[in-house]
Amino acid sequence: MRNIKLLLSYDGSRYAGWQRQKNAPTIQQTIEEKLAAMTGSRVVLHGAGRTDAGVHALGMVANFHTASRLPVTAFFGGLNHLLPPDIRILEASEVAADFHSRYGALGKTYCYHLFTGTVLPPVRRHYCAHIRTLFDIEPVRICLETILGTHDFSSFETAGSRDRGREGGRGGVRTIYRATCRQTLEDAWLFSFTGDGFLRHMVRCLVGTLVKVGGGNISPEEFTAILAAGDRSRAAFTAPACGLFLERVYYDHRPSPVGR
């Protein structure tokens, strides 16, 4: 059996997330169907993460095993020919038999696009969350420095995120190497989070709470207490899915920590 690694990008707007479901279209199912058509047999595609409905990817990594003798180039050009235009294969390569896109990942980077103005340009509605609010970046940056390092992020986790059979019993503990926020346009903000792993909805819960910090509803001191509490009810809302992008998955090395 050959092990094929794919680097792919997708617009998650019309999909019910990555993971296959019985009654809704998903990224995994869509690609698996095209691979089955190409190889003549059922294919199970393993993704580096399980992005939720409406979440996008710039650099998702996936792998599958196959006995097909098709050249690797077929899994690039052939798949792109068969797939809908909102899913694209960026690279295809043959890798070692023990490579696993999820369990071999050493880190990931997610970015989140936020617009806080009055009117969001409609062409951005699927790729940027619109939350009308005042937004002061300075207290937000203080909070971003607070989450750097290793912490229990249970306050920013929704149920069902932990694979207890493979996580080594670390619970809600994750390490954040980089966390930044910068203004890109008037009333437009870009968050970026790099860590060794993320709990379910963790980035979106963090952003929702940081929006409250930027609006003056939560102080940096209160944010620190929320982080320490390990209680989801203490944090703020879960930010909309449309602003979230899986940007990169790391395998060869852990991301190096840097400041803001």
Taking phi over 0 as left and psi of -120 to 50 as alpha, with beta for the rest, 171 belongs to left
Radius of gyration of the chain (CA): 19
pLDDT string in tens for the chain (260-residue length): 999 999 999 999 999 999 999 999 999 999 999 999 999 999 999 999 999 999 999 999 999 999 999 999 999 999 999 999 999 999 999 999 999 999 999 999 999 999 999 999 999 999 999 999 999 999 999 999 999 999 999 999 997 555 544 445 678 999 999 999 999 999 999 999 999 999 999 999 999 999 999 999 999 999 999 999 999 999 999 999 999 999 999 998 878 776 44
Domains 2-95 and 107-250 share a fold: yes
- The domains of the chain are located at 2-95, 107-250
**Tens of pLDDT, residues 233-247:** 999 999 999 999 999
Active-site positions read: 52
pLDDT at position 165 is 44
Interior/surface letters 193-229, b for 16+ CB within 10 angstroms, e for the rest: bbbbbbbbbbbbbbbbbbbbbbbeebebeebeebbee
Helix (H, G, I), strand (E, B) or coil at 13: helix
Report phi then psi at 193, rounded to 5: -130, 125
The percent helix, strand, coil of the chain (3-state, each to 5) is 25, 30, 45
Pairing of strands 188-195, 107-115: antiparallel
CA distances from 246 to 60, 129, 190 (A): 7, 15, 13
The reported pLDDT for the residue numbered 103 is 96
Say if residues 62 and 251 touch (Cβ distance below 8 Å): no
* DSSP letter for each residue of 242-259: GGEEEEEEE-SSPPPP--
Q: Select 2-95's CATH number: 3.30.70.580, 1.10.260.40, 2.40.50.460, 1.20.1260.10.
A: 3.30.70.580
Tell me the C-alpha distance between 93 and 90, whole Å.
10
DSSP state of 10: E
* Class at the top of the CATH hierarchy for domain 107-250: alpha beta
CA distance 236 to 144: 15
* pLDDT value of position 258: 60
